Amino acid sequence: CGFHLRGTNGIGGDQLSFSSIYIDFPADSQTSARLKRLIKGMKLTKLANNPKEAEVILSAISEKKNKDYLSLNAQGRVREYSLDYILEFTARTPQGKILIEPTKLALRRTMTYNDNEALSKENEELMLYKDMQFDMAHQLLRRLSAIKMSAINGSEDQTTENTTSLDRQPEHQPGTPD
């Protein structure tokens, strides 16, 4: 039926097309921790400690959690909550070339609720947010996989490791729009 295991096809959005990434998220972001773990575990790409050493910089513009009631029962009490997790991110090169325009990703989980179970629902809420953070990390990874560095750089040579940013800057700056 045409399905093949991801990563066995050679071409396509299987692998990250860049060798190093700097993840510029708030230090306590669970999403970035998960994303880093995925990237690390796959040994695809190096995690840079410094934005200047990275080929791609992924930045969180805003990270928001929202909890609002979704449905009320006939007594006017909350019966279901909707938990929203909204992340706005962008990806660029250290030279400032935008690879992914600022994009908002919104995830939602519903949680049944009953005042009698307030304490257990507190635990459930944590679980659902964790699930969304995992989901978000995978969504980010798929977005990163869609970046085609070769098309942006024009040549594969420039994606080699240890090319210092100082060397590259003069070459690229005149060409970058914006």
CB 152 within 8 A of CB 105: no
Question: In angstroms, what is the minimal distance from the CB of 126 to another protein?
Answer: 9
Question: Rule CB under 8 A: which of 84-113 touch another protein?
Answer: 100, 103, 108-112
Element (H, E) at 172: helix 165-172
Which of 50, 52, 65, 120 binds another protein (CB under 8 A)? It is 120
Tokens 């998960």, located at residue:
34
CA-to-CA dists, residue 52 to 71, 82, 84, 132, 137, angstroms: 48, 39, 33, 30, 23
Which of 46, 53, 59, 159 binds another protein (CB under 8 A)? It is 59
CB 78 within 8 A of CB 69: yes
CB 141 within 8 A of CB 151: no
- Under the binding rule (CB under 8 A), the answer on residue 8 touching another protein is yes
Q: Quick one: 16 or 153, whose CB is closer to another protein?
A: 16
Half-sphere exposure of 147 (CA within 13 A, CB side): 26
- Under the binding rule (CB under 8 A), the answer on residue 177 touching another protein is no
Q: Quick one: 24 or 163, whose CB is closer to another protein?
A: 24
- Under the binding rule (CB under 8 A), the answer on residue 144 touching another protein is yes
Phi-psi region of 154 (alpha: psi -120 to 50; beta: other; left: phi over 0): left
- Under the binding rule (CB under 8 A), the answer on residue 9 touching another protein is yes
Site size toward another protein (CB under 8 A) is 68
Q: Which residues bind another protein (CB under 8 A)?
A: 1-9, 12-15, 24, 26, 33, 36-38, 40-42, 44, 59-63, 68-80, 100, 103, 108-112, 114-124, 127-128, 131, 139, 142-146
